[in-house]
Structures are given as structure tokens and as C-alpha cells.
Structure 1
């Protein structure tokens, strides 16, 4: 993190904590330079960031003032915020680039271990599909996608008790493209989108790229999305879409119960607001019976359900889909206007695997592995991390969320951990306003080992480092 970013983060924390009240005057550039020993350029760039985050406003010849609608956005105490311009990509890129170093312990990774996937059997299906694919399929299988694959996806919906026509399913290059196409289908630049807080950083990046504004809805580590805060935000703001994870949310791992999913769908239907449901972890549930996605409760075609095989079967093959309800035709046209089609042979190969390769057996195996790895991670947390550290207890997926008892600087912890060969995902990645400074996300999607256990112990040691505790 640069010096001006660190300076901006410190002032943002003071605003979010309430120490600096809305409307109050911020220190002048001259005061900032004298107090922190920084250059005028560094002080000016810090204030520019605060403006971008919606926390301060500049008045000509008067200086900077705390924005009238600036809200706290720290940890689980966050309330639904005002709309904000999103400026998250540079932070995301810097953290993800650091985590790519060879040999690093991937606790901050977004992906499970590739060793958990049936690559040899999948390659057999891909080979079979490549030999038998019709030349005409290169034209016929343009959006909405390979017919056999869409039928197999529709059958998976049927297993969840959802009747989903294959004609409404659009195959995409991974779920992220599906989510972006859905967002493009229902918004225009300047529109307001409701996102989770903490929430998936790619949603924030999509909002930033499309010139949208975000309103953050708090997510509780035990019960999930705060529906009261969402109802309040819907009354106050012209929200055009919601982008939520209802199953095993990234980064917390929390799932909405069936009753809350139904209440969410009914609330949005009253306001005629589409829900973009990111459900890439839905099939990684540990219990034999689990709550179906929010799509199961949709009676108005407002839920745009997006899934993928990247988290369950083949991360590098980049095959996802959108079941887009009343917006399916619009999403299909946008697919044609952008990337045209996902790989035809790969679509056919995954369709063959779903039909003949034993996907259900594979899912049972990977769910058991993930559950065992979660239990090992929770054991290491109890063994090494300080008393008072709070964590979520996911019932699926492969992420959990840690909240430290002290005012820990998660960005400093990330930097020091990288130096020790360990990646973590710091809390500010998951907030439009760079909140959750004392939180991190951990990935337990890799086979447990002594090396991972040692990494948790090392994190415990780093929590006592003066740089990490600088916010005390």
C-alpha cells in the first residue's frame, strides 16, 4: 500500500468510527503535511481517495469536510450505507498480484486445490466430444450455448426442485461473465446497485467498470444479509438491481435460510427490482439437504441465477451460465455483442461428463474433503489465534471470515504475511468503502497439511507485530 493510501485509510477509519462527524471540517493540507511528515502531493492524493470513496467533499477556498451522508462501515456493525462511487480495482489487483508468488501458502486464494477435481475423467469426455462434435455446432451452438449442456444444467435445476426451461439458460465464459452480462442487462451508467458488505470484490469491480454506484447492505456472519437494511435502502434509493450470494457467501461463507430467501424475493418483487443471484458455491454444501437458491421462490422472472462449473469441476475451463428469467433474451444479445460464445468443444465435453462421468459421485467426494478441511482450519484457529477472534462456521463452500478482537490492520497483516510466504485476503477488498480493516478471509479449499497449520501459527505471531497493531 502506498503512503497516500495508508493516510487515506487512517482518516477513513476516523470518519467511519464517528470520531469525525458529518459536516465537520477536515484538517487542512498544511496540517496533514506537518502532522504526518508527508509531501503536499501525498496529502492531496489521500484527500482525492476520500472524495472517491464518498467520505469527504471539497469546498472551494474552504477546504475539506466530512460528507453529510458518510456512514460507518466497519466490521459487523455496518449499516446500509449511502450510495458511493466504487474505487476498488487497484487494491484488488495489488493484493491478487502479491498472492501469485510461487510456493506461497494460498490462504488468500479464490480457488480450491486443483487436486480435488477429476481432471483425467474430464479429459476423456473432452476428447470424446472433440472427436464427435459436428462442424455445424460451431454455428448452432452460439448463444444461448450447447443444447446438450443446457439440458444437463436444466436437469440439475430439477434436482433442486426448480423447473427451469433450457431455453432461458445462456452459457457463458464462467459465472463472472454471466454476472456481468446480467448486470449490464438491467442497468445504465449512474444507476444504483445494492451489494453485500462484506461482499465479493468482483461485484464491486463490475460496478466500477460500468460507471454505477453501490449501496452496501450489511451481511451478518451468522444470519446473512440484513433484510431490514435492504428494505430501508430500497425506500431511500432508486436501486435498479441487487447482486447477492444467498449460498455460502464470499467472503463470509454464510447462507440465508429458506425463509429469508423467500422474504428477499418477495421484498424485491414489491419494488420490481431484479436479483442477480451469484450461486457458484451452491453445490458445495455439506448437509444432504440444503436450502435451494432464491430462484426457487421467484414467481415474477426477476431472479437472474448465475452458476458455474469452475468451483466444482473445472476451474480453468471457464464454463458458467445465467438462468436469466424475463431478461434471458437481453442477456443472450449481450453475449452475442461481447464474447459471442464460450468454447464449443469445452461445452460439449462438460455436457458429456455431466451425462456419463459420475458428477454426483465427484460432488460427494469433494464435499467431504471440503468439510474435513474446514474442520482442520477451525481447529488451527482455536489452537493458534488469540482469544476473542471471531469466525464464521460455513456449511458449504471453502471460505471463512475472521474478525480480530483488537483494531488490527488487515492490510499490514497481508503485507507481512506475504513476506513470510503466506497469502490472506484482507477485509478492505470486500467493501466499496474499504471497511472491515480488522477482518480477513481464509481459504480452506486445499488439502490440510502441516505447512498450512504452520501458516496459521505464523499469522498469530504477526498479529503482535507493531505495524499490524498500529490502529490500537
Structure 2
């Protein structure tokens, strides 16, 4: 929810403001200790995590400094800095209230993108908390700037990932986890560990187009498996493929798959773990979206049912902590040593300071509360988008109803070519994700993936309504110059590299 200009500052900023005012007035002198975190939490009727966030905000601005097991103390020459903090909080720029506007005026503004998948809405993340964690790690671990980091990653982050994996139902050891440069890097190394050029890999259909690009770059062949929009990949179809095809690996997203946002029931996940063990075929499981679900019961990964090490689990926190901290992880089961070797010989070392900062963020007590807020926010946003689609898209349109995530999968009437719709939308400053990008055939050419991970206000809502109007024009078969030009463009390679770059790879 956007904070209106008339609202008070956030709770942690209110506490930081009161402390800064005491320091600026001289009531708290240099070297004096701030009230303990627990005492301050009780006095202000807030959680301990909120007070910690307030003190860390003051620490970031050089007003206080922490001492190990002693608390927070006022720094030297802090009165001027505290006065600056007071001014910054009291005179923060107002958030303008959204004003209704007509679609024509809204769409004259900068482009609206429903194409990306990495979250871009700054309301999703606590930038102050991230900055404090990074600055603290840079100060406390400054020696790492002049040392080679461990090829597998810092033990602090590997243990933090193992702790988070408990929410996936997985008992992982930090020593077996390898830190990577994002989730897609983890998937790539898993494929390199278990396949060679020319091998066959089973994937969902539709699937994330980044997987298709990755398979092509590694000279691997793909076999597409039918996937239910609600329950995920078809296990009977998978078993038939394993019986009849020389499949060397499976690459699946069993929880909140991209683009369908399907979730395999736990019974299916357990059966999938048994199936890969029976056929002794590695499963590369992408769990990057699992934390977007509100409960551990639904987050549970296939890895939770893997007792023989046939599941290679890959993830990252780009969707929940910070897209800018490009760190992923992998627990590769039987191939843990191979993954460590691959990372070392490929020279894909990761930044130790960012690893320590991410470990700090993951182990803070407020992370689970943040996930619940994020899940509730996106559920509300997707519900609003579904209503707009229902009101403005052609009759016969179907749209999924995921419990979480950032996207909706839309099936338009069969006569609509979403490559044409892409061109029409692009001409009006709107980008969408045509379904053809998510498969190697024309099967989903009437489908769209729409992302709502960016801003969501009157401009974006008007743009979504306009996408529906353009789709209605295609259904009605309007033969105007715009439609003919779009048809001509669709027969050419009109999706340039610049357009595709709008789709954030992860």
C-alpha cells in the first residue's frame, strides 16, 4: 500500500526520530548508551525487530554505533548528524495521491511494462534495511576485499540458506550448499554437471523462456511435457517419456511455475521424488518462488521427499529480499562436489561482502513478517488485475488465479495472435509477454503472461484496460492501418533484442 503524504512516518522511523531529537538536543551525549532494544520495544509498544530497524537506521546515518553485546552508543560529533536525520524524517518528500485520469492521457506517459518478472516496485523491499546490512558487512568484513573468497561461498550465507530451507521442508547442510551468481547460474551449472551436448532434458510446457535459451546455449535438446495450470507437470506423461526417451535430466519449477504459476500438490511432489529415484534421473528443481507462498505447508519442495540425492535444488532471494543482490544457491545432492568444482574452475566467484549482508537479512526476525506482507500485497494486486481483465478483455478470455506470485497467465480466444497484440501494445508504449516466447511451437500464440511486479497505479491500470481493448479489436477483425501494420510486423522478426531484454532473466 502506498503511504499517503498525510500519514505519519513508519514506526521504525518514528522511533529513530525520537532518538535523533534527544541526541540533537544534547539530552543524549556522546558515548551514552541508547535504551536497550527490549526496553525501547516495551516503551513504544512495538516489536523488537522494529526497534532494531530504527537503531540500524541511525547507525547507517552515523548517529550511533553498535558495541558487541553492549548495545548502541551515541557517536562523536553526532549532534549535527542527528539534526540532519530529524530534518530528513520530518521533511521527507510527499507521496502524491493518485488522481484519476483518462486512458489517452495516461498512455502518453513513459512506457508501462507487463513483461518483466523481477520485482521493480520499491514498496516491495525495505531499502533502508538493505543498505544498513550492506554497510555493516562492508565495515565488519572489509578484509574480504583483499582476499579470495571461498569458491563455494561464505559459510555464513550457506548456513543461512540451510536455515531458510527448513521452511521448504528440507534438512540441508550448509557445507553442501554452493553460492552462485543467481538462480539461473545455479541451474546452468546443474545442467553442466549431469548432461553433455546433445542430451535430452525434460521441461514443462509452457516454461520460462530463459530455460529455453539456456538449453540452446548448452546445445541440449528439450522434450516438452504437458502441464496443468493448477497442479503442474503431468506425472503420467513424464513417466511415459522416461520409459520411451533417453532423458538425462528434468528441469522443473514445481511451485509457482513460470509462467503458469501452477503448484504441484504434495502427493504429486512425493510421487515425483519417487519417480526420479526409480529411473535414476536427476531433477533440477527451481524453488526461487516458494517463499512467495504464505505458509510452509505450501512452500514444501520436492527435495523434502528426496532421500537418495537425485534432486538438485536451486534458488535465490531476488524475488523476496533484493533483486540487486544477485546471489543464488544450489544443493546438488549426489553432485555437490561436482558443483563446487564447476564454480571454482569457471571462476564465477561471488562477492563475500554481499554474501554476509544477505546472510544478515535472511536471519533477521522480521523476514517472515515481510514475506507475509508481500504475499498479501500481491494477492490483492492480482485480484484487482483479474477484475480489470474480466471487464475489458474479449469474451471467452480465461485467466489463472494463483495464490501468490507476480504474474497472471491469460488465454485469449483462439483467433487472437498475441504476437500481433504485442506489436499493437508496443506502439502505444505498453509491453506484454506473448505466449509464443514460452515454448518452441505456436501452441500458446493466443496466450499472454502479464507481470505486475512493477508499479501499480492509475497509469498501469489504464494500460491494462487498453491491452484488453486492443485484444477486442483483434477479435472483431478491425481492418485499419494499425492492425495491418501489426500483422506485417508479426510476420517478421519484430521482437528485437532490446524488446526481449525487458524480460528480466533470473
Superposition TM-score tier, normalisation by shorter sequence: 0.7 to 0.9
Q: How many Å separate the matches in 2 of 1:230 and 1:138?
A: 49
Given the alignment of the two structures, is residue 421 of structure 1 paired with residue 429 of structure 2, yes or no? Answer: yes
The structure with the larger Rg is 2
Deviation at 1:160, TM superposition (A): 3.2
Q: How many Å separate the matches in 1 of 2:172 and 2:266?
A: 19
Structure 1 segments, 4+ long, off by >6 Å, are: 468-471
Query: Given the superposition, is the C-alpha separation of residues 229 and 303 from structure 1 closer, same or farther in structure 2, using an over 3 Å criterion?
Result: same
Q: How many Å separate the matches in 2 of 1:366 and 1:238?
A: 41
Is the partner of 1:277 in helix, strand or coil? strand
Is the partner of 2:460 in helix, strand or coil? helix
Deviation at 1:444, TM superposition (A): 2.0
Within 5 Å, which residues of 2 pair with 1:412-451?
A: 412-451=420-459
Q: How many Å separate the matches in 2 of 1:187 and 1:304?
A: 13
Aligned residue for 1:124?
A: 132
Aligned residue for 1:207?
A: 215
Q: Report how many residues are paired.
A: 371
Match of residue 226, structure 2, among 188, 207, 218? 218
Query: Given the superposition, is the C-alpha separation of residues 391 and 329 from structure 1 closer, same or farther in structure 2, using an over 3 Å criterion?
Result: same
Given the alignment of the two structures, is residue 105 of structure 1 paired with residue 105 of structure 2, yes or no? Answer: no
Given the alignment of the two structures, is residue 318 of structure 1 paired with residue 318 of structure 2, yes or no? Answer: no
Indicate conservation of the 8 Å contact 2:183/2:315, yes or no.
Answer: yes
Runs of 5+ consecutive residues of structure 1 not aligned to the other structure = 1-101
Aligned residue for 1:172?
A: 180
Aligned residue for 2:375?
A: 367
Indicate conservation of the 8 Å contact 2:169/2:301, yes or no.
Answer: no
Given the alignment of the two structures, is residue 161 of structure 1 paired with residue 169 of structure 2, yes or no? Answer: yes
Match of residue 204, structure 2, among 196, 204, 218? 196
Q: How many Å separate the matches in 2 of 1:405 and 1:194?
A: 29
Runs of 5+ consecutive residues of structure 2 not aligned to the other structure = 1-108, 478-482, 491-506
Deviation at 1:360, TM superposition (A): 1.7
Given the alignment of the two structures, is residue 341 of structure 1 paired with residue 317 of structure 2, yes or no? Answer: no
Is the partner of 1:242 in helix, strand or coil? strand
Deviation at 1:383, TM superposition (A): 1.3
Is the partner of 1:307 in helix, strand or coil? strand
Aligned residue for 2:41?
A: none
Aligned residue for 2:461?
A: 453
Indicate conservation of the 8 Å contact 1:279/1:307, yes or no.
Answer: yes
Indicate conservation of the 8 Å contact 1:161/1:296, yes or no.
Answer: yes
Match of residue 387, structure 2, among 379, 386, 391? 379
TM normalised by structure 2 equals 0.70
C-alpha RMSD over aligned residues: 2.1
TM normalised by structure 1 equals 0.75
Q: How many Å separate the matches in 2 of 1:103 and 1:187?
A: 44
